[in-house]
Chains A and B, each alone.
Chain A
Amino acid sequence: MKRSLLLSLIVGVFLSLPAFAQTVNVAWPYQLPPDGHYNTYASGAINLGIYRDLMEPPLAVYMWSKGEYEGMAAESFGFDADGNYTVTLVSGYTWSDGSPITSADLVATFNTGYLIGWSVWDNLESVEAVDEQTAKFTLGEPSLATERLILTQNLTPASVYGSFGEKGAALKASGAASDSDEFKAALEELTTFRPESLVSGSAYVLDDVADAKAHLSKNPGGINADKVAFEDVVAWNGETETVFPLLQDGQLWYATHGLAPAQEEALINAGLDIIRNPYYSGPAVYFNNKVEPLNNPVFRQAIAYIIDREENGFVSLGESGIATDYMAGVSDTILKTYVSEDVLDSLNPYYVDFDKATELLESLGYSKGSDGSWVDGSGNKLAFELTFPAEYADWSAAAENAAQALNDFGIEITARGVQFQQHVQDVYDGNFELAIRDWGAGSPFPYESYLVPFRRYNGQGELAGEGAGGGMSFDNNVTYSGGEINLLDLTVASSQGTDLDKIKADVTELAKAYNELLPAVPLWERYGNNALNRGSLSVPENGDPIYQNAGLDHFMPYMILTGMAKPAE
C-alpha cells in the first residue's frame, strides 16, 4: 500500500508535470472593450459571471448540503453578543497590484456598494475596521438574510476603490439622499471609472481578453493560489450555440450553458458527462387575475390537475426537468428543511387527474360541449392565450406541451412566443392572460422564492411606475383554510431576524397557502445539465453533496479554488 503510494508519487512527479494540461477551460459570455471593462461596480464589467470568484475572492461560500458557510477570504465570521456582525479576513495574502489584503478592502468594498445601492445597506448602519484584518458590521437588527448578503460578497481592493469607499461612507454618515447632487456626482464618478486592469485577490488574474476567449493566469500572492491545481484558466466567450462545438470537440471542459435534450444527448454520445445540479427554480404558469376565471383558485387547481408535469419536464429538459411534489412555491429540497414532515404530507401534489379537473370545472358552472371544448353558462368557450419567451429552449417546450395538454382537455389555448426581453415586460405590465415565467430562487431562504410571485410579478415592484400594469394582479390579502393572511407581508417577515423557529412557522404557513391557492402553477424544477469533460477535468462524481450548491455559491469556482478540480489523469 505504502509502496504503491510512493511509486505513484514518484511517477506523478516525473510524468505529470510536463504531460498534464495545466489550463482549465471554462466558458462565460462577456463583452469586449470598450463596452466591456474592468470596473466591477459598473455594468458591462468583464468579471466572468460565476467565475468572478477566481479573481475577486468571495468572503465565504454557503455549503448547501451542510447548511453552513465555509470561509474563503474570511477566516472567521459571526454575530457578536450585541447583535452586530464581525468578519476577520485571512492574513498574508496580497492583491495582484502588490497591496496586502486587509480589513481596509472589506470597508472599501461595502462602502462602495453603498453608492450603487446594495440592499445589504437596508439593514446595515456602518462597516468599520477593528484591526488589520477585522471589520465590524453594525446592523439595524440581527438577520440571517443580512448575514448571507455580507458573506456572499466578493472582496474588491481598497487600492482601486478606496476613494469611492470613503465617499460612500461619508454620504452614508451625512445621510445624503440618493438623488442629492453630491450623491449623484459620486455615483457618476464611480460608474464612469475605468481601471486599467482587474486587480485580483483570488488565485487568478485576468491578463488577456480577446473576442474568442479570456485568459487568466495564476496570481501568486492571492488567496487560494497555493491550493489550485491549474496554472491558467481560459474562459471561452459565447452563448450555448457558440460554445457547443468546443464542448463536442473537447476544447471546452465545463459549461453551465443550458442545453436542450438533443444537444445533451449529442454531448453524451461524444463522451461527456452531465452534472445535474439543482437550480431550485423552474418554469411556472402565471395567471392574470384580471381575467375571469383565472382569478379563481379552484380554476387554477383544475389547470394543475390537467397538465402532466412529469411529461412536461421530460419533453422540456429531459432528465433535468423534474416535476415538483409539494407544489408550494419553493423547491422541494429547500422546503424540506423548513417545513415538518406531516405538513409536507398534507400538501396536495396535484398529480394529473382529469376526473378531478372535470369535477372542479363543473363545480364552477362550466360544462363540456359536444365538440369536446369547455363552455360557460352562456355558451362561451374557455379560451386563453399563453405567452412564453420565444428564445428559451426549455420554457418554450414547456409552453408548447402545456398548451397541448389543455387543448386536448378542451380548454382552448393559443400559444405565442414573445421576444424574451419583451415577455418579462409584458408580464410586469399585466399584458398577458397565461404566461410562462420562473418560480423558485437559488437562495437557501424561501422568502426569495416567495417574492417572485407575490412581489416581482405582482405589480408591486419598484418598476410599477406610470403606465405600468399590475403584473398578475393577484391580491396578496388572501383567505385560505388556515385563516386570513397577507402573503407579501408574511414573506417579508420570513426574511427578518435570526429566530429560525419563527422563520419556519412563517414558511409553513406560506407553503400551505400557496399549495391551496396556487397563485402560479409550478411545472417542474430545473436541474442543471452542465456538460463536463471528465477526460480532461477531474471533479467529484455526480451525486456528490457539493453539487447541491447553487446560485452565488456555484460549485465549479469553489472546486477550482480549493483544488478539488484537478487535471484528469
Chain B
Amino acid sequence: MIQSLSGPVDTRPWWQKLVQNYTLRTFVQSLFTVWAVITFVFFLIRLMPGNPVEIYVNYLMNTENLTYQDAYNRAASQFKFDPDASVVQQYFVYLGQLLRGDMGESITSTGTKVSSQILRYLPWTVFCVGSALLISFLLGMLLGMLAAYFRNTWVDNVISFLASIVSAVPDYIWAILILIIFGVQLKWFNVGDMRGTYDPATPPGFNLPFILSALQHAILPITTYVLGSIGRWVLAMRGSTTSTLGEDYVNIARARGLKQNRIMTAYVGRNAALPLFTLLAISIGFVLGGSVIVEEAFVYKGLGSFLFWSISQRDYTSMQGVLLIITIAVVFSNMLADLLYSRLDPRVRVTGDK
C-alpha cells in the first residue's frame, strides 16, 4: 500500500529484482575485481626476481658476515618455502584459505599469522593517513573554491602559486626538511621524542595520556602528508569549480539575486565537488597503503613500511595479505562512491541501462 503511494507498483518477480538490483550487481562486480586483482598479484609477486631464501642469504652475508655456505644453510632451513613447488597448486591452496577467511602464515617470520601482522600496523596507518587525507581534502576544497571564486585576483594568484609549488615537491623532501630545519636546527621539537607511534611510557589504552601521546606522535607525519597532497586538491577543486561557474544554473541563480554564499555552497560547491569525491574515494582506498617514505622518516611504523619490508623480503604471504586489504578497500570505496553519486547529484542516473 505504501508502495503505491510513492510510485508505480513494481511488478517484477523477486529474482528479477535481485538480478537487476543495481547495488547488488555493483557489489558482485566489485567482488569479481577483487578476485581478478588478487589472482594477478599472486602470480606477479612470484615473478619478482629472487625468493625469500635468496634474499635472506644475502641479508645474512651482509649483516652477520656469515660465509655463503653458512648463510644458505641457515636460510634454506628457516622458511617453509619450497622454490620448486607448483605455483598453480599454491594458488588454489591460497584461494581455499581465503575462502575460509585465513590469510596464512608469514614466510619469513615463521609461525606468525599474516592477520596478526596486519592488525599490528593497520590502526596506526588508518589513524594517521586517514586524518591527513581528511584535513588535506577539506582544506584543499576550501582553498580551491576560494581561488575559483576570486578568480584572477591576488587571492587566486597566491593560492594557485603556493598550491603548484607545494604539490610539485615530493614528500621525501618535506619530511627531511621538517626534521632537519624545525627539529635539529630550530629545536621546535625534540627529534627523538617525536619518533614512533606513541611514547613507550604510556602503554596503549583508552586513557588521556596515551591519546595525547598518539596525537603528538602523529603530528609530523600528518603535516608531511598534508603538505605533500593538499596542492593537488586545491588545483583540482579550483579547476572543477571554474568549470561549474560558467554553468547556466549558476547564472540563473545569480540572475534570481540569490546570495553569493548560497550560490557557492548549494550550487557551485556541490557540483564542483562531484569529481573530487571520485578522487577522494580512490584516495580513501589507498589510505591503508600509507607512505613508506613518511613512515620511515618518522619511524611511524604503519602498513606502508610493513608492505615495503615484506616486498623486500619477498615474503609472499605477508605481501598478499596487505595487498588484499588494500585492494578490498580501494574497490569497495570506489563502489560506494558510485552508489553515492546519485545522492550527491540527483540528476545522475548511473543505474540507467540503455
Choose one: A242, A425, A456; the contact of B49 (CB below 8 Å).
Answer: A425
Q: Is B338 located at the chain interface by the 8 A CB criterion?
A: no
Q: Judging by beta carbons under 8 Å apart, are B300 and A242 in contact?
A: no
Closest to A25 in B: B192
Known A-B contacts A248-B180, A248-B184, A456-B68; the reply to A463 vs B54 at CB < 8 A is yes
Choose one: B76, B117, B306; the contact of A117 (CB below 8 Å).
Answer: B76
CB distance from A79 to the nearest CB of B (A): 21
Q: Indicate with 1 or 0, residue by residue over B104-134, a CB within 8 angstroms of chain A CB atoms.
A: 0010111111001100100000000000000
* B306: chain A residues within 8 A (beta carbon): 35
Interface residues of A in 435-474 (CB under 8 A from B): 441-443, 448, 451, 455-456, 461-463, 465-466
Q: Judging by beta carbons under 8 Å apart, are B57 and A211 in contact?
A: no
A-B contact pairs, 14 of them (CB 8 A): A31-B109, A34-B116, A35-B106, A42-B110, A117-B70, A210-B196, A211-B301, A213-B192, A242-B297, A248-B184, A249-B184, A422-B50, A425-B54, A463-B57
Q: Indicate with 1 or 0, residue by residue over B163-192, a CB within 8 angstroms of chain A CB atoms.
A: 000000000000010011001100000111
Known A-B contacts A210-B200, A461-B72; the reply to A238 vs B299 at CB < 8 A is yes
* A463: chain B residues within 8 A (beta carbon): 54, 57, 72
Q: Indicate with 1 or 0, residue by residue over B229-271, a CB within 8 angstroms of chain A CB atoms.
A: 0000000000000000000000000000000000000000000
Interface residues of A in 236-253 (CB under 8 A from B): 236-239, 241-242, 245-246, 248-249, 251
Closest to B76 in A: A117
Q: Which residues of A contact B (CB under 8 A)?
A: 31-35, 37, 42-44, 49, 115-119, 122, 178, 187-188, 191-192, 194, 208, 210-213, 215, 236-239, 241-242, 245-246, 248-249, 251, 421-422, 424-426, 428-429, 441-443, 448, 451, 455-456, 461-463, 465-466, 551-552
Q: Judging by beta carbons under 8 Å apart, are B70 and A42 in contact?
A: no
Q: Judging by beta carbons under 8 Å apart, are B50 and A425 in contact?
A: yes
Interface residues of B in 188-214 (CB under 8 A from A): 190-192, 195-197, 200
Q: Indicate with 1 or 0, residue by residue over B284-321, a CB within 8 angstroms of chain A CB atoms.
A: 00000000000011011100001001001010000000
* Beyond A192-B111, A451-B67, 7 extra complex contacts between A and B, CB < 8 Å: A31-B309, A116-B73, A117-B77, A188-B110, A239-B296, A242-B299, A251-B192
Q: Judging by beta carbons under 8 Å apart, are B73 and A118 in contact?
A: yes
- Total number of residue pairs linking A and B with CB closer than 8 Å: 150
* A241: chain B residues within 8 A (beta carbon): 176, 296-297
Closest to B121 in A: A32
Q: Judging by beta carbons under 8 Å apart, are A442 and B65 in contact?
A: yes
Closest to A447 in B: B67
Q: Is B69 located at the chain interface by the 8 A CB criterion?
A: yes
Q: Judging by beta carbons under 8 Å apart, are B109 and A44 in contact?
A: yes
Closest to B196 in A: A212
Q: Is B80 located at the chain interface by the 8 A CB criterion?
A: yes
CA distance A463 to B300 in the complex (A): 36
* B68: chain A residues within 8 A (beta carbon): 451, 455-456, 461-462
CB distance from B291 to the nearest CB of A (A): 14
Q: Judging by beta carbons under 8 Å apart, are A34 and B49 in contact?
A: no
CA distance A132 to B176 in the complex (A): 55
Q: Judging by beta carbons under 8 Å apart, are B111 and A191 in contact?
A: yes
Q: Judging by beta carbons under 8 Å apart, are B176 and A119 in contact?
A: no
Closest to B69 in A: A119
Q: Judging by beta carbons under 8 Å apart, are B296 and A242 in contact?
A: yes
Q: Is B216 located at the chain interface by the 8 A CB criterion?
A: no
Known A-B contacts A118-B70, A211-B197, A448-B67; the reply to A192 vs B110 at CB < 8 A is yes
Q: Judging by beta carbons under 8 Å apart, are B110 and A208 in contact?
A: no
Q: Indicate with 1 or 0, residue by residue over B24-57, a CB within 8 angstroms of chain A CB atoms.
A: 0000000000000000000000001110001111
Known A-B contacts A245-B180, A421-B50; the reply to A237 vs B299 at CB < 8 A is yes
Closest to A463 in B: B54
Q: Shortest 5 CB-CB distances between A and B: which pairs?
A: A117-B73, A212-B196, A192-B111, A212-B195, A119-B70
Q: Judging by beta carbons under 8 Å apart, are A245 and B112 in contact?
A: no
CB distance from A44 to the nearest CB of B (A): 5
Q: Judging by beta carbons under 8 Å apart, are A35 and B195 in contact?
A: no
CB distance from B146 to the nearest CB of A (A): 35
* B196: chain A residues within 8 A (beta carbon): 210-213
Q: Judging by beta carbons under 8 Å apart, are A178 and B77 in contact?
A: yes
